[in-house]
Amino acid sequence: MIQPIKVLIVDDSAFMRRALATMIQSDPEIQVIGTARDGVEGVEKVAQLKPDIVTLDIEMPRMNGLEALKIIMEKMPLPVLMVSSLTEEGAKATLDAFDLGAVDFIPKNLQDLSLNIVKIKDVIIEKIKTVARKRPAFKQIKPPSEISKKIVTPVSIPKSFGAQLTRKASIVAIGTSTGGPKALQEVLPHLPSDFPVGGVIVQHMPPAFIGPFAQRLNQLSRVEIKEAEANDIIKPGLFLIAPGGRHMQVTRKKATEVGVEFSAEPSDSLHRPSVDQTMLSVARVFPGSCIGVILTGMGHDGLEGIRAIKAANGRTIAEDESSCVVYGMPRAIVENGLADKITPLSQIAGEIINMV
């Protein structure tokens, strides 16, 4: 018999503790083994109960979620899902939590909780199961304030197929989900300031999170990174991150100018923005000269986009299972035989540089 996944809930709201416990325990494979009302109690119960995974609120009395997370990751590291408000302040705190080792977050939106309880329950259960079973390797990442653009360690550029590659790329498209914020922080800062092409990025995140996330990546990187806007043009050294809540597509504006546009359609897409929608447009506009990269994430968003890039004679990279927080999106690429390179996260920047 498979042992249930043991969950500890840390939240100062009695309502949220009950709501999360009810949703989580509706699945027979998950067991809530305890709750805590603040960070102090949460740290104590992690040591006592030894859960498989923790849900951790950010704003709590005595000791907040970030302070508790730092202690947990230093003394008894395990998977932690932050419970985050969908605000700019919540976004910044959640990004700080990613830097400290949290693997993902659960949106804390009481209105959605009452209106879309079934959908939210399914998402939480899927995240708990996927992350707890993967048991990713945990390490603390230095906060952005401690990282300088000037001291980014150069990556080694693989030579495995460089001499054979006759076509050059005109754009890089990157798609990711769970684990993506940390993964992108380990790829983009290694690209040089004179990177010869532009790029587009789709990271599954709520709308309020994208702007602060883009700003943080830009601070860390030598290429320019920004949240995409309606009049943005694809140009060398600029990476555009799709805004939350809308699909981003690459479109040719003039003979020599390519930009981005946004749409709510298809409205039935599981994710908005969708990696597939962006990569399908990249394949159409840049046949034979595009690179598609799939990093860690749940599900299979990006599969059809990568398939289109391959069909258009582009190049493709999938993150290797060994470095993925969740080996879902890359697995779909690999199992369908669509990956030109299957590469650990630490080598992906080098592969991208080699391909352009």
pLDDT in tens, 315-324: 999 999 999 9
Interstrand relation of 247-254 and 30-36 (parallel, antiparallel or unpaired) = unpaired
204 is a catalytic site residue: yes
301 is a catalytic site residue: yes
Q: What is the separation of C-alpha 347 from the centre of its chain, rounded to a whole number of angstroms?
A: 18
Catalytic residue of the set 84, 85, 170, 177: 177
Contact 333, 303 (CB under 8 A): yes
The string of DSSP letters for 133-163 reads HH-PPP-PPPPGGG--GGGPPPPP---SSGG
277-291 burial: b if 16+ Cβ within 10 Å, else e: bbbbbbbebbeebbb
Mean pLDDT in residue range 50-63: 94
For residue 213 the two structure tokens come to 């996330």
Position 84 scores a pLDDT of 86
Least confident of 48-57, 100-109, 242-251, 347-356: 100-109
Question: Does 108 have pLDDT greater than 90?
Answer: no
Q: How far apart are CA 77 and CA 216, in angstroms?
A: 25
Give the pLDDT confidence of 154-209 residue by residue, as tens digits: 455 444 433 344 448 999 999 999 999 999 999 999 999 999 999 999 999 988 89
What DSSP state is assigned to residue 340?
A: S
Q: How far apart are CA 33 and CA 50, in angstroms?
A: 9
Q: How far apart are CA 291 and CA 286, in angstroms?
A: 9
Position 195 scores a pLDDT of 96
Mean pLDDT in residue range 122-134: 86
Catalytic residue of the set 12, 104, 276, 301: 301
323 is a catalytic site residue: no
Which is it for the CA torsion 207, 109, 16, 31, positive or negative?
negative
Question: Domains of the chain by range and CATH?
Answer: 5-134 (3.40.50.2300), 146-355 (3.40.50.180)
Helix (H, G, I), strand (E, B) or coil at 293: strand
Catalytic residue of the set 190, 204, 247, 271: 204
